[in-house]
Structure 1
Amino acid sequence: MSNSNTKPDGAARLGWAGVRRHPLLLVLPALVLLILIMAVPLITIIARSFIDPVPGLGNYSWFFSHKLNLIVLWRTFVISFWVTISCVLVAYPYAFAMSVAGPRLRLILVLCVLVPFWVSGVVRTLAWVIILQDTGVINQFVIWLGFDKLSLIRTQLGVTIGMTQVLLPFMVMPLFAVMRGIDLRLIEAAKSLGSHPVKAFFQVYLPLSLPGVFAGATIVFILALGFYITPLLLGGPSSTMLSTLVQQQVMSLLNWGRGGAMGVILLVATFGFLALASPFMRRKYDISGGSK
């Protein structure tokens, strides 16, 4: 009886000692699952871009030899850039209000950000189709003011508005996380030393909040590059993004090679952007507004 009781305990101690010597064993199941879900499909798409329909660089040669593909690739980055700028401009004052508000008001502001985030992106985009159309609420208000109606649907402006609303939580929450850690007494100290409130904000508070700006902007920009539903429903021929062309090649034309090549090119371009932006993200800012 005593031997049967001590053996499992000894085995358990031995197993725990093995895990402590090899902590990678703790993350091994999650690592295997991550490889199966992400790495295998990615490797498959990259491989098919080189071998489908025939081995070689034909798919990449086709992409760069057609001007339309390059225009759409450039447009994808331009739209993503403006969506990121829009998110920063809208999210910064909102996150600041969340950081200085009381507990009850802060809860309401957080819910205003998260509740739409829990709604399907398709539903939110269809709502914007109704709002932005020629007979929508915005154009009715513009006509009531005496102006000509605006072209919002099937334009880059409409796509930017819809994508900004969908991606706004990804900008607000990183900003809020950083702003909550900033001591507002620093601004009061700057004002007590004779600094104007606006100058104190730009020289003290803004530099301390820049890590949140860079983190949120990076997340929003990368997510915007791969958007499909919102540009498809709100956009038109002049606002087509690369994800739409990938869908056409894969689903309509069953050309996995060209679709994979587009995806690989977008992935490489995204990594190139991150390489260019990483020095700014790693830069440390002091409260005088400079960098080091």
Structure 2
Amino acid sequence: MADVTNRPNEQNFRRPGGSVSRYSPALSLALVAPLMLLMSVGFLYPIGSLIKLSLFTPALDLTSYRKIIEQPIYLSVMARTFRIALFVTITSFVLGYPVALAMASLKRRLAAAAAAAVFIALWSPVLVRSYAWIVLLQRNGVANNVMTELGLIEAPLKLIYNEGAVIIAMTHVLLPFMVLPIFAALRSIPQEYVCAARSLGAGASTAFLRVTLPLSLPGVFAGCVMCFILALGFYITPALVGGPRTLIVATLIGQQATVLLDWPFAAALSTVLLITTLIMVLVFRKAFSTSKGFASVD
């Protein structure tokens, strides 16, 4: 007869709900402690110091926040930043979803090759890609020269140093962040669902709208959030492609901190940007959570 005294006591591993856990609460806390310490030192403490700097100089002072509200130029920069980020997110979704859908329909080797092509664009330095768009869009660049030779235009167009150029360049940089999450979500959808919808009389478009698209919304949500947040904080591409007339919040914060040395105002701009970003993420989350496909992953 086997010795039952050597068996582990499962009651010591059971949670109140009845499920079995491998680690005790103390050991779980010890495992999570390094990550919590890293988050506290590398994220929470700098954010707290930033908010404190914007509010206390050294006493409570809301001058920096009043400056943002009272001077229209700063509200205009804020509005331009969110407008560009929204357009970049929408454009990335419109261009990225068909690419992800095509990648998901390929066989494993072809899908891996397509994913590698997306990763190549992701691995390229942002500075190099930004300068490439300058070469393409400048007055004597490739785009103007081609249109002039084809007789489409008589004089070079101003294709650079405007919001359109910034949106195009930022979409090119951020497109992989939209494609990859949507591709992962599409690959996780069982093909039996689409086949069942088609066997019940649904057409290709109906099956896509009623089955594939709702179940892929978790990937759409992740891609939209990443593109939107990264677009809000972009610095190099708008500075190079947009020029001084397309000033956004990240560039403005850099000027205030490094050129004018107005650290409280730079901290106030950063705090406002952080709060509005969190609000937009919650709005995205609420909008996508209305889908059953999104709720299924909760």
| Structures share fold, TM-score greater than 0.5 | yes
Partner amino acid, structure 1, of 2:258 = M
For 2:216 and 2:288, the matched residues in 1 are separated by: 12
Q: Could you say what secondary structure the match of 1:202 adopts?
A: helix
Output the amino acid matched with 2:289. R
Shift of 1:18: 9.6
Judge which range, 35-44 or 51-60, deviates more: 51-60
Q: How far did residue 275 of structure 1 move?
A: 2.5
1:1-292 alignment to 2 at 5 Å? 21-52=26-57, 55-148=60-153, 149-285=156-292
Residue by residue over 1:214-260, the C-alpha shift from the partner in whole angstroms, topping out at 9 and shown as x without a partner, is: 22101110111111111000003442111111111000011100000
TM-score by length of 1: 0.86
CA contact (8 A) 1:53 1:257 kept: no
Q: CA–CA distance in 1 between the matches of 2:72 and 2:126?
A: 31
Letter of the 2:211 counterpart = V
User: Structure 2: how far apart are the matches of 1:254 and 1:282?
Assistant: 43
Does the C-alpha gap of structure 1 residues 139 and 256 become closer, same or farther in structure 2, counting only changes over 3 Å? same
SS in 2 for 1:239: coil
User: Which is further off, 99-108 or 215-224?
Assistant: 99-108
1:178-236: per-residue Cα shift (whole Å, max 9, x none)?
00012334334433433332233222222221221122101110111111111000003
Contact 1:132 1:152 (C-alpha < 8 Å) held by counterparts: yes
CA distance in 1, matches of 2:23, 2:174: 44
The aligned amino acid for 1:273 is M
Structure 1 runs of 4+ with >6 Å offset: none
One-letter amino acid of the counterpart of residue 79, structure 2: W
Q: Distance in 1 between matches of 2:25 and 2:70?
A: 55
1:53–1:143 CA distance, 2 compared to 1 (3 A): farther
Partner letter of residue 47 of structure 1?
K
Are the counterparts in 2 of residues 178 and 212 from structure 1 also a CA contact under 8 Å? yes
TM-score by length of 2: 0.84
The separation in 2 between residues aligned to 1:94 and 1:150, in whole angstroms, is: 30
How many Å separate the matches in 1 of 2:213 and 2:131?
36
Contact 2:170 2:231 in 1 (8 A): yes
1:17-44 per-position Cα deviation (integer Å, ceiling 9, x unaligned): 9966341111212221221111221111
Alignment-mate amino acid for residue 231 of structure 2: A
- Letter of the 1:184 partner, please give it: Q
Q: Distance in 1 between matches of 2:26 and 2:272?
A: 41
Instruction: Specify the SS of the correspondent of 1:117.
Output: helix
Is the CA contact 1:174–1:212 (under 8 Å) kept in the aligned structure 2?
Answer: yes
Contact 2:217 2:291 in 1 (8 A): no
Gaps of 5+ in 1: 1-16, 287-292
Name the SS for the 1:56 alignment partner. Answer: coil
C-alpha displacement of 1:130: 1.0
Identity of aligned residues (%): 39
Aligned pair in 2 of structure 1 residues 275, 107: CA closer, same or farther (>3 Å)? closer
Secondary structure, aligned partner of 2:292: coil
| Letter of the 1:255 counterpart | D
Separation (CA, whole Å) in 1 of partners of 2:100 and 2:53? 44
Report what 1:289 is aligned to.
Answer: none
Contact 1:174 1:213 in 2 (8 A): yes
CA distance in 2, matches of 1:255, 1:53: 14
How many residue pairs match? The answer is: 271
- CA 1:20/1:198 → structure 2, altered by over 3 Å: closer, same or farther? closer
